[in-house]
Amino acid sequence: MAPFYKYGFFGDEMSLVLAFVLGTGFGFFLERAGFGSARKLAAQFYLYDMSVFKVMFTAIVTALLGVTYLGWIGWLDLSLVYLVPTHLVPQVVGGLVLGVGFVIGGYCPGTSVASLATGRIDGLVYAFGIGAGTLVYAEVYPAIKDFVNSNDMGQVTLPEVFDLPWGLVVFAVVVIAVAGFSAATFIERRIGDRS
Amino acid sequence: MSSDHRPAATPGSGRPASPYWNPYLAGIGLGLVLLAAFVLVGRGLGASGAFSSTVAWLVNMVAPAHAQSNEYLQGYLGDGTTHPLKAWLVFEVLGVMAGALFSGLLAGRARIAVEKGPRVSTAVRLLCAFAGGILMAFGAHLARGCTSGQALTGGALLNVGSWAFMLMVFVGGYAVAWFMRWQWR
Amino acid sequence: MKLPALTLNQKLACLALALGVLALFSVPHRGPVVTLDTRELALIVEKEVDHVTPSELAGWIVQGRSDYRLVDLRAESDYAAYHIPTAENVTVAALPEFPFLRTEKIVLYSDGGIHAAQAWMLMQAQGYRAVYTVLGGLEGWKDEVLYPALPAQAPAADRARFERAAALSRFFGGEPRAEGGAVAAAPMALPKLAAPAPSGAASAVAPRKKKKEGC
């Protein structure tokens, strides 16, 4: 019964080995998609290369359909897959800040690691920036602690919050994603032709 | 006309760099890795947490009293029974490096370089990269994750906070894009 | 009639939409309805491997073992009046939803043992494999650990065993009864809850993970 680790099929040491192996797959596909390059990543925000949107949402839809089906046939215990608790306002603010940082810096933490691994100096510098930012964050944390922990909604999913069946939300996500991909390709062609 | 530019090759490789993969195929690959993480370990992928663990470990080496009294860093140091670097995300991020390098070498895309637009100097680009990293750290820690941990992982689990976060990342990015266009175009 | 050739991307889109439509009917979360393997459960019950005696439990507590979770299934007021040291209060109604780890040992007890046995069945049905009941429940704890009795004409071997039990009993705030005649007809009062928590046993209920599991 999955998740295997939570059912005691293997211990912490093996879990760390798997972390590395899974990370390898993660890094491989990130680089395959071209996300080791800041220019390709930033292009998303200039509308002439919507790969970030396409890759991200394809990955989400794939994994979402996967957990849905595996849970449905009873092979995966979805309640044992860790869900990060929602703190709505801090996460909204965090998202905005992250988006700004993305366009200024050209990466996100995961892609910066992929980038520096393939030799990009800007990726390396970016990673140091994250380290420095983390230090500063740790220092100011006591002052902003209350804000950071505000709006605790616990572990909630979209179906729960909108009181809809899980399957319906999955279907909606798939439809929106496919429609989004068509629109993205259309936009790419229009902007690409113009530039 | 394909929208993705041909990547530049690894110097000395003797062949042009391979073009990037079809984004949907790369996305499916990524999604399957994520699914494997859910099935095997009961958690998703991530990246920002590894940075926090590393910083906590470094500060602990240099100024242990300070690290252990700092509430944020202490969370990543734990109760002292395990080494802070013996964290799931640290191992995962090491894997990301290995996988990315492997893919880059395979495709002839691995090279020491600075990714930047044609109008900006290397120095300015690196400064922006550093600044972007600092901002990213704040964003990621406020949101309890970055695009890998929150958007991908949380997105695939229909987590409310993750979807809100993901939306705002795009909003934030597009809002600032016009002002940063000198760096990329 | 020839169908138009679909590009790879279009085929992927069709596949996604088909899977999405099918997913409309999905119910991925386990609900309260479970399936029981009656043969397997009957065997476990017969072999009696799912019991823990009160003395054994007392030994674990004294040793300060933290590899198990002791669960008191009674009402909150009963729990507050007295509970076996290191026990947590989870009523039977709250049991199915309670977030136990799948890999931890869970030891259940109630007043006599009936609720514990029923709760044991519930947990087994949900797939928890390391579930045990305290033999005799709280009554058994009282008789065996708190107020062990020694009949007047007991042989030497029994006396030795009684001495050990007596030490354990005093540790938990009970009273060993050496005279055979004092086998009380009236129920013995339970000691006040000032029973000392042996060092380390408190960590049985301590936070499981100290490091964050997020991203």
Taking CB atoms and an 8 Å cutoff, what residues of chain B touch A54?
Answer: 23-24, 27
Instruction: State pLDDT tens for residues C91-108.
Output: 999 998 888 888 889 999
**Inter-chain CB proximity B75 and C12 less than 8 Å:** no
Say if residue C198's pLDDT is above 90. Answer: no
Q: What is the pLDDT of residue C179?
A: 55
In A, which residues are within 8 Å of B85 by CB distance? none
Which part of chain C is CATH 3.40.250.10?
38-142
- Here the tokens at position C122 are 């519930």
**How far is C211 from C195, CA to CA, in rounded Å?**
32
Q: What is the mean pLDDT of residues B13-39?
A: 90
Residues C100, C128 contacting (CB under 8 angstroms): yes
Instruction: Name residue, tokens 């599991």.
Output: C213
- DSSP-assigned states of every residue in B4-56: SPPPPPPTTSSSPPPPPPPHHHHHHHHHHHHHHHHHHHS----SHHHHHHHHH
Does residue A135 sit at the B interface (CB-CB below 8 Å)? yes
> pLDDT averaged over chain C?
81
Residue C131, strand partner residues: C106
Rounded Cα distance, C157 and B13, in Å: 84
Question: What does the H/E/C string look like for A116-167?
Answer: HHCCEHHHHHHHHHHHHHHHHHHHHHHHHHHHHCCCEEECCEHHHHHCCCHH
Of B55, B91, B92, the CB nearest to A131: B55
Pairing state between β C68-72 and A152-154: unpaired
- Those residues with Cβ within 8 angstroms of residue B121's Cβ, 6 or more apart along the chain or in another chain: none
* Cα separation values, B115 from A118, B184, C105, Å: 12, 9, 54
The continuous run of DSSP H or E covering C107 comes out as strand C105-109
Q: What are the chain C neighbours of A169 within 8 Å (beta carbons)?
A: none
Instruction: Out of C9, C210, C215, name the one closest to residue B149 (CB).
Output: C215
Give start and end residues of each alpha helix (H) in chain A. 12-32, 38-43, 51-72, 88-105, 109-117, 121-148, 158-162, 166-194
Domain spans of chain A, in order of start: 1-81+168-195, 84-156
pLDDT band at C201 (very low <50, low <70, confident <90, very high): very low
User: Is it the case that residue C205 has pLDDT exceeding 70?
Assistant: no
* Rounded mean pLDDT, A87-108: 95
Q: Check if the interface score ipTM surpasses 0.85.
A: yes
Please compute the mean of the pLDDT values over residues A16-26 and round it to a whole number. 96
What is the pLDDT, as a whole number, of residue A58? 96
Q: How far apart are CA B50 and CA B94, in angstroms?
A: 9
Cα angle for residues C128, C132, C138 (degrees, 5° grid): 135
For the segment B125-155, what is each residue's pLDDT rounded down to a tens digit?
999 999 999 999 999 999 999 998 899 999 9
Instruction: Report, as an integer, the average pLDDT of C52-78.
Output: 91
Interface check B108 vs A, CB under 8 A: no
Q: Are C151 and C124 in contact (CB under 8 A)?
A: no
| Average pLDDT, integer, range C2-30 | 88
Nearest alpha-carbon partner for C16 in A54, B44, A76, A91:
A54
Task: Give percent of chain A with pLDDT exceeding 70.
Answer: 98
Q: What is the CA radius of gyration of chain A?
A: 19
C81, C111 contact by CB (below 8 A): no
Put simply, whether A176 touches B (Cβ < 8 Å) is no
**How confident is the model over B76-125, as pLDDT tens digits?**
988 778 888 999 999 999 999 999 999 999 998 888 988 888 888 999 99
Tens digit of each residue's pLDDT (9 = 90 or more) over A62-71: 999 999 999 9
Q: Chain C residue with minimal CA distance to A3?
A: C102
Pairing of strands C131-134, C87-89: unpaired
Chain-chain contact of C21 with A84 (C-beta, under 8 angstroms): no
* C114 burial via Cβ count (<10 Å: 0-12, 13-18, 19+): exposed
- Neighbouring CB atoms inside 10 A of C49's CB total 9
pLDDT at A52: 94
pLDDT in tens, C131-167: 999 999 999 998 888 888 877 777 888 888 888 888 8
Residue A167 is nearest to which of C24, C30, C101, comparing CB atoms?
C24
The three-point CA angle A125-A127-A131 to 5° equals 115
Alpha-carbon Rg for chain B, nearest whole angstrom, is 19
**Spatial CA neighbour of B134 closest among A109, A134, A144:** A134
Interface subset of C 86-145, CB within 8 angstroms of B? none
Q: Considering only alpha carbons, which residue of chain C is nearest residue B23? A: C9
pTM exceeds 0.80 for this model: yes
Measured between CB atoms, which of B59, B113, B143 is closest to A95? B143
For residue C164, give the nearest of C51, C62, C52 by alpha carbon: C62
Residue indicated by tokens 């799948």 = C102
| CATH 3.40.250.10 describes domain C38-142 | yes
- C-alpha to C-alpha distance for A36 and C139, rounded to whole angstroms: 66
Mark yes or no for CB contact B134/A136 under 8 Å: yes
Of all residues in chain C, the percent with pLDDT exceeding 70 is: 81
What are chain A's partners, defined as 3 or more CB pairs within 8 angstroms? B, C
Write the single-letter amino acid at B50: A
User: What confidence score (pLDDT) does residue B120 get?
Assistant: 87
The candidate with the shortest Cα–Cα distance to B31, out of A152, C12, A94, is C12
**Nearest Cα residue to B52 out of B60, B44, B62:** B60
Sort residue C84 into left (φ over 0), alpha (ψ -120 to 50) or beta. beta
